Structures are given as C-alpha cells and as structure tokens.
C-alpha cells in the first residue's frame, strides 16, 4: 500500500481481503484492504462491529476509513486467536469453550438489527433466507462435484442433490430470529486482556439459533472428540428456556451438515480458482463431521443414499 507509511503485510485468510499492521511510535492498528466485495468487507464489517460494541461485546473500533481507496483502519487486537491459545498443551479446553458459549449467549441476545454505517446510510442485517441456504449448499455441487464426478453423471447428481437439499432445509424447525455471526469459530475469536473479542463479522445475518453453535462445535479447523462436542452442546442447553431441545438438536445436525457441505465446496474453489491449496487437507474432517451429524434416518436418508456414490466420503 504505497499511499500508507509504516505498514507490514500480515498473513491472510480464505477471503480476498489483505491485512496490514500499521505502526506509529508505540501505537499499532490494522488496515483491511479490499478491492473486491468492499461493501461487505469494509462497510458491513464496521456496521456489525458497531452493533456488537453497542451490545457490550468486544469488537474492533473503526479508527479511520478511505472507502474510495478501498480500506479501513481498525483497532489492533494483536495476533493471539483463541485457536492459537487452544493449541497450547496445558490449556483447559473445556473451560475456554464454556467461556465462548457464554459469549455466544450474549451474541444471541442482540435484538438490534439496524445501524448507520460510516457512509451515513442505514444498514439492516439481512435474514438468513432459504434462498441463501440453498445458494450456499450449491457451492458443494458447483465446485466439489464438478471435480469429482464424470460428465455423464454430473447433471443427474446435481438435480437430485438440489431436491434433497431443499427437502432438508424444509425440515428446519426454528425461526430466523437470532443474531448469527455466521463464521463463529475459534479462529475468529481473540483474547484481549482476558476478554474474548469477535472479528470477521461482516457476513452476520438474522437466522437460526443453532447455526453459530454448529459452527463452533463442528469447526473443521479444530478437531475435538465426540465426548468434548457433547459436553459443550449440553453446556449450551443449560438455562436455555422456551424451546424444544429435540427440535433444536435436529436443526443443529441439519445446519452442521449443510455448513460442512458448503465448506467442502469453498475449499475446493479456493484450491481450483485461487490456488489456495492448503485448505484441501481439511476436507476429510469435514466429511467425518457430515457422517457424525447425518445419523438420523428421518432427516438424512436421501442425502446419505445420494452421497454413497462418492467414495471420497469416508476419506
């Protein structure tokens, strides 16, 4: 970034954004540069962060912006994500995850849906519609299936897959009435002075209460045992009132499966289109999570029958 001084490029993520650390004397900040999808990556990012901050949830404060030049400057929370903390041998992972669940409950209590962004326009958090869910699920067929199935059977598979996914989405029980971060996992949480901060929140929607929990517990980047997953799930259920636990568990399983199908599609796209091949190694664990959550025959028989043609499933 030639127009900015004292900046150092940082390690990027799976998005098209570029991150820099700016240092002046003893102060530092983070520059987010985004020439692509800058409305989401800059405007929406700040709008959601403002909503989080107004609801006493730690998120980066906007320090400056230059929308024409495609960047914003935000508060620097350092380099230590919760993912980094959990990799330490002596850390009590259960305790950390319970702290995250407490944060999630606060996130889900947010009722505010609109705010004025830094361009002085009202931003309203969109709803996690059926159309969005279907579009995300198609990433699996558009990218992974394109690579894994011969031309002759491809269209037949896709046609059946779209039908199966639509029927699966229809089985969701809960209303779209909850703040959903949409990428709520330990790599998007940071420890700042013993408090957990939330980053990467630009894609937040109003959706299903089970979504962020599924994103956290069935995080493809961070492997945990079935026993661990169950303990965190049950901790979340404690003190939850006014909803049917069986319906919630059913939604949790469906959302986890849909999310991991989407992730397999995204990771395949990153490798094929963007030459970011490091994410391919995570696909086998995504398959194992799909297998774990698709045990209910009433919900997943059609999907499991369809996926049997993919010998890759159990890899």
pLDDT in tens, 131-168: 999 999 999 999 999 888 877 688 889 999 999 999 99
List the end-to-end C-alpha distance of the chain, in Å, as a whole number. Answer: 42
Q: pLDDT tens digits for 64-96?
A: 999 999 999 999 999 899 999 999 878 999 999
Q: Name the residue among 256, 167, 170 with its Cα closest to residue 214.
A: 256
E strand segments, 86-165: 114-116, 122-124
Please list the residues that pair with 29 across neighbouring strands. 22, 75
pLDDT at 63 over 80: yes
Helix crossing, 245-274 with 297-307: angle to 10°? 20
**What average pLDDT does the segment 38-57 reach?**
95
**What average pLDDT does the segment 303-314 reach?**
76
Give CA–CA dist 77/63, Å, rounded. Answer: 13
Question: For the chain, what percent of residues have pLDDT higher than 70?
Answer: 95
Host H or E run for residue 82: helix 82-86
Please give the model's pTM, rounded to 2 decimal places: 0.93
CB 54 within 8 A of CB 46: no
Give CA–CA dist 41/285, Å, rounded. Answer: 28
pLDDT at 310 over 80: no
Residue ranges and CATH numbers for the domains of the chain are 79-114+124-314 (3.90.1200.10)
**What average pLDDT does the segment 35-42 reach?**
88
Q: pLDDT tens digits for 175-222?
A: 999 999 999 999 999 999 889 999 999 999 999 999 999 999 999 999
Burial class (CB in 10 A: 0-12, 13-18, 19+), 120: exposed
Q: Which two tokens stand for residue 218?
A: 């069935």
Write down the residue that tokens 């956290």 correspond to: 216
In this structure, what are the phi and psi dihedrals at residue 196, rounded to the nearest 5 degrees? -90, 125
pLDDT at 242 over 80: no
Enter the DSSP assignment of 42.
I
Please list the residues that pair with 22 across neighbouring strands. 7, 29
Q: Distance between alpha carbon 190 and the CA centroid of its chain, in Å?
A: 15
Q: What is the pLDDT of residue 25?
A: 82
Q: What is the pLDDT of residue 2?
A: 54
Other CB atoms closer than 10 Å to residue 235's CB: what's the count? 14
Residue predicted with more confidence, 13 or 314? 13
Query: For residue 253, what are the CA distances in angstroms to 63, 215, 247?
Result: 40, 11, 10
């Amino acid at each position: 970034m030639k127009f900015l001084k004292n900046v150092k490029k940082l390690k990027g993520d799976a998005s098209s954004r570029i991150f820099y650390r700016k240092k002046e004397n003893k102060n530092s900040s983070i520059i987010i540069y985004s020439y692509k999808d800058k409305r989401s990556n800059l405007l929406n990012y700040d709008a959601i962060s403002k909503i989080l901050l107004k609801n006493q949830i730690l998120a980066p404060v906007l320090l400056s912006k230059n929308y024409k030049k495609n960047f914003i400057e935000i508060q620097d929370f350092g380099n230590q994500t919760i993912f980094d903390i959990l990799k330490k041998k002596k850390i009590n992972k259960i305790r950390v995850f319970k702290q995250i669940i407490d944060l999630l409950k606060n996130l889900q209590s947010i009722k505010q849906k609109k705010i004025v962004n830094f361009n002085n326009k009202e931003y309203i958090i969109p709803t996690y519609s059926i159309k969005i869910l279907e579009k995300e699920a198609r990433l699996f067929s558009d990218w992974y299936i394109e690579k894994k199935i011969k031309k002759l059977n491809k269209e037949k598979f896709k046609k059946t897959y779209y039908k199966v996914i639509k029927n699966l989405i229809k089985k969701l029980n809960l209303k779209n009435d909850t703040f959903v971060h949409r990428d709520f996992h330990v790599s998007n949480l940071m420890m700042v002075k013993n408090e957990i901060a939330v980053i990467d929140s630009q894609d937040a929607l109003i959706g299903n209460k089970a979504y962020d929990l599924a994103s956290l517990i069935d995080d493809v980047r961070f492997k945990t045992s079935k026993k661990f997953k169950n303990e965190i799930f049950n901790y979340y259920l404690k003190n939850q009132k006014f909803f049917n636990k069986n319906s919630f568990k059913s939604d949790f399983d469906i959302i986890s499966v849909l999310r991991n199908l989407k992730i397999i599609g995204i990771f395949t796209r990153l490798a094929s289109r963007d030459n970011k091949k490091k994410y391919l190694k995570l696909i086998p664990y995504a398959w194992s999570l799909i297998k774990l959550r698709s045990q209910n025959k009433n919900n997943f028989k059609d999907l499991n029958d369809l996926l049997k043609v993919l010998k890759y499933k159990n890899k």
